[in-house]
Structure 1
Amino acid sequence: MRLDTSASASSAAYSCILLNSDPDIGSRRHKTTARGPRGGKPTKQAAPFSSARPPLPSNLFVHCPGATFPRSSIIVSTADDLLLFRVPVAVEPPPKFIRYDDCDYIIYRAGRSPSLTRIPNPKPNFYDLNVGLLSRAGDLFTVAALVANSTNEFTLHRFDSEVGNWSMKTVLLDAPRKPYPMRIPANALRLNHHITTTVITLGGKSGTMGWVDLWSGILLYDLFPEEDQERPPMLWHMRLPLPMDLGKWVTVLGCPKSTRGIASVIKDGKPCLKLAGLQIIEERLPYDDIETYMPCYRVNNWAITTWSNTIMVHANSSDNWQEDFTVWAPDIIISDTVRSELLASGLLHRKPSQDGEETVELALQNLVVSEPIPSLNGEEEVVYLMARPKYFHPKAWALAIDIKNHTLLDVAEFGTAKAGMLPIVTYRSSAISKYLTQATPPVTRKT
């Protein structure tokens, strides 16, 4: 397997990049190429990162000679100088649906001697959303996934690179989650359950990792607890701020990833959690869209709110979260240059939603926005959004918004949904860009 990183020297200025979660197909050579072992299987190649300054997309290129269905490759997780991606194993005939059992899991480590390591397929498998990465000294790393057995009991699946195989152990919540201080509406009872939607790595001496339900809270666990700890390591729960528009939903509260995002950063030299949330004012129209053939909505306004937490103690409360900024779309300042880019992109021109309509010109507050992601640069107050002219549109643009100064910094076309897949383009932030420019010629690592 070969993995190339085509990062430019200028990427040293990037505190983070925005990775397209769906790798492209192709082969590229670069000084950061890493070759993987063949292991008796068809040679596979991956070339991540046409690295670009956000909000431009950075793409992972996967090339798998001999593989019959490479388009099911996906980035699973990224933390510091590591990236974990899943790539299908070539089998004949190609299955109608790709199973996790039909995939290899590959770790890429960036740096002066980039390396590529195949790790054993975890069996039993777990959802990608449950998986986190921890980069450790001496080229060591840990992959961990948390799977719920009950409200207070979980199974931790863990792979330590120095051990070379997966282990499983039961871990418990140190104390039951406290009830909310107010009545939760019937359509928001999802708040009473933990369903992991993303994983963050806080690191530190204890190797703390957090499994985040973006609605209800974070389950934190020390992968490497202090030796003098009196009892076995346990999970502890950190509540997140309640949604700003709690009780205003008409439908049942669903997956939060479209309206909330979180990041673990260093701010003023201290660990800090940043949370961003969207409020969207919209209405369902009484017809389906003739372009997407999906339900049609009109967005009338939206706002972004950010919170921060620098007091991450073992406390089952949300008292330590501080609300930082809220900005509504009509109040966002757009320079003439950025406005020209918006108009040239066509993002503000929506095609007819039903027969007989003319093309509609939109304002910023009419855009369909989703997936807020705080910048990984702790000194910035920037939130990235994915924007579309309408719901389920196959094309997506990324917006960079300075929340503190209420300014749209930039806009960039991010991607187009691939044929045969759901009309969704997703992304994730990564700090791996800080390590790409350190690379020297590739090395091969055996596994």
Structure 2
Amino acid sequence: MATVGSCSGHEEEDVLLDGHAYIGNKPNHTTAVDFTRNFERLVASFWRAPPPLPSTLYVYSPDISDPAAFSEAPRIIRMVRGFILFRVVIRSRHRFCIPMEDFDYFVYNVHGRALYRITNPAPLSFHDDVVGLLPRPFRTSARCSVAALVPTPNPSVFALHVFHSNIGRWASTQVVLKDPQQDFPIKIPRNARRLLSHYPSTVITIGGEGGTMGWVDLWRGILLCDILSPDPVLRGVPLPLPRVLFKPDGEISSDHFGCPKPFRRITFINRPDGRPCLRFVDLDVSCTRLPDEDESGRPSFWFDSWSVITWSNFKMSNSFDDWKNDCMPVHADIIILKEQMRMQLLEYKLLRKKPSQDSKSVSTNADWKLENLWVSQPTPSMLPPNIVYLIARAEFMHPKAYVLAVDMIKREVHGVTEFGTMRELAPDIICIPGSVSPA
């Protein structure tokens, strides 16, 4: 399968990127300039750091003296092979629920030092989750295609909205689900009927001559579409069954399914051996709601345990059997903590001690457990493929976030670092996998 490749010609490395850019002037060798719709200069600079350290996108306008003119922090929608799609909003009249037409959308080519404002899609309307980015093979430009897939009342028909930078406008068409994904191998409980409909929660870019993109419902499956085809259609690829479907005794659960992003993630990888594949990760968390609230008035939870499992898919056909476990599930209580790593986690207050019945017992470092830590948003690494990144917080919804790098083969914490303070309370997405070539 021909796939999207590097636009720089260099070997690419993983990055972790905060989902919101910072407003500030930090020029470097990647800095690029374009104009907003109101002809204000907009400057973008990318500062790369090796994971688990976060890389940062800085956005700045020399024509705007007051940073408060940015109505909200610039939002990164997608990152693919050194191309970043982001949006900014300046001096919006709306304080909350800013309408789509108020945003300026930009594509930034980190390697080519190119910044390009794309046409606002209004009056079209869609969520960031359904927007994908397809870089085109030009090193010194921001040439690309941007596409959004939106469900319609007919579950077999979707609206496909596509922007090609060489044309400069949005075009819309209806696409048919020609090859629906394979039926679930188990009967889905009534309370889990959400799994029977496809609601995209992220988009992956595969590329190739047809410009293949995948709209992923992280609970359910993938809808693949060749957006460069003159007659695009959709075809389904199932995802591994959610582990929350199964109770500890093996019975089928009837739990309701909310947002999947805190628990399931996917990425497309060009492996070092040349084989392209999908890599999928599932986080299973067991927690208990406590009767009291925390100091901020938010719900309080005690986390009993968590485990991570990863799958790879080299065929990408319409079969559950294509998914192969990379290794056995890694449970928090068997993850190895070397003494230096344990001390660092204690310093960050990321190890928790379960309350003891014996208040006179003496606590040791070993009493503080990793399994009682609140983790979310598992992110599969592109390089190396055996690492999974987890967002970790000392308490539920605590504003300070850290990144744990867990080696799934060695079953140990490979690294930990402060990721920053979450500036948006909605836990949408703050950890974006991407890849860029090193400077």
- Name segments (4+ residues, structure 1) moved above 3 Å: 37-40, 93-97, 175-179, 247-251, 349-352, 420-425
Q: CA deviation at 1:207?
A: 1.4
- Cα distance between partner residues in 1 of 2:180 and 2:315: 21
1:58 aligns with 2:59: no
- Cα distance between partner residues in 2 of 1:304 and 1:364: 13
Number of the residue aligned with 2:298? 294
Structure 1 counterpart SS, 2:179: coil
1:285 aligns with 2:293: no
In the superposition, relative to structure 1, how do residues 341 and 82 fare at CA in structure 2: closer, same or farther (>3 Å)? same
Q: CA deviation at 1:181?
A: 2.6
User: Does the 8 A contact of 1:417 with 1:424 survive in 2?
Assistant: no
Query: Once the two structures are aligned, what percentage of the paired residues are identical?
Result: 39
Give the one of 323, 334, 339 matched to 1:336.
Answer: 339
Q: CA deviation at 1:346?
A: 2.1
In the superposition, relative to structure 1, how do residues 47 and 71 fare at CA in structure 2: closer, same or farther (>3 Å)? farther
Give the one of 256, 280, 283 matched to 1:275.
Answer: 280
User: Does the 8 A contact of 1:190 with 1:254 survive in 2?
Assistant: no
- The amino acid that maps onto 2:285 is I
Structure 2 counterpart SS, 1:284: strand
- Cα distance between partner residues in 2 of 1:186 and 1:258: 23
User: Does the 8 A contact of 2:354 with 2:368 survive in 1?
Assistant: no
Give the one of 407, 416, 421 matched to 1:416.
Answer: 421
Q: Deviations over 1:232-269 (max 9, x none)?
A: 33100001010123144574111111000101002221
Number of the residue aligned with 1:4? none
Alignment gaps of 5+ in structure 1? 1-11, 353-359, 438-447
In the superposition, relative to structure 1, how do residues 44 and 324 fare at CA in structure 2: closer, same or farther (>3 Å)? same
- The amino acid that maps onto 2:134 is L
**The 10-residue stretch of structure 1 (54-63 or 401-410) with the greater mean CA deviation from structure 2:** 54-63
Number of the residue aligned with 1:120? 119
- The amino acid that maps onto 1:141 is C
Number of the residue aligned with 2:24? 26
1:372 aligns with 2:369: no
1:193 aligns with 2:197: yes
User: Does the 8 A contact of 2:77 with 2:128 survive in 1?
Assistant: yes
- Cα distance between partner residues in 1 of 2:39 and 2:307: 50
TM-score normalised by structure 1 residue count: 0.85
Alignment gaps of 5+ in structure 2? 1-9, 248-252, 356-362
- The amino acid that maps onto 2:120 is N
User: Does the 8 A contact of 1:133 with 1:141 survive in 2?
Assistant: yes
Q: How does 1:18-167 map to 2 (within 5 A)?
A: 18-37=16-35, 40-49=38-47, 51-64=48-61, 65-66=63-64, 68-91=69-92, 93=93, 95-111=95-111, 113-123=112-122, 124-138=124-138, 139=141, 140-149=143-152, 150-167=154-171
Number of the residue aligned with 1:238? 237
1:168 aligns with 2:172: yes
Q: Aligned-residue CA RMSD in angstroms?
A: 2.3
Structure 1 counterpart SS, 2:72: helix
User: Does the 8 A contact of 1:415 with 1:425 survive in 2?
Assistant: no
Q: CA deviation at 1:423?
A: 6.8
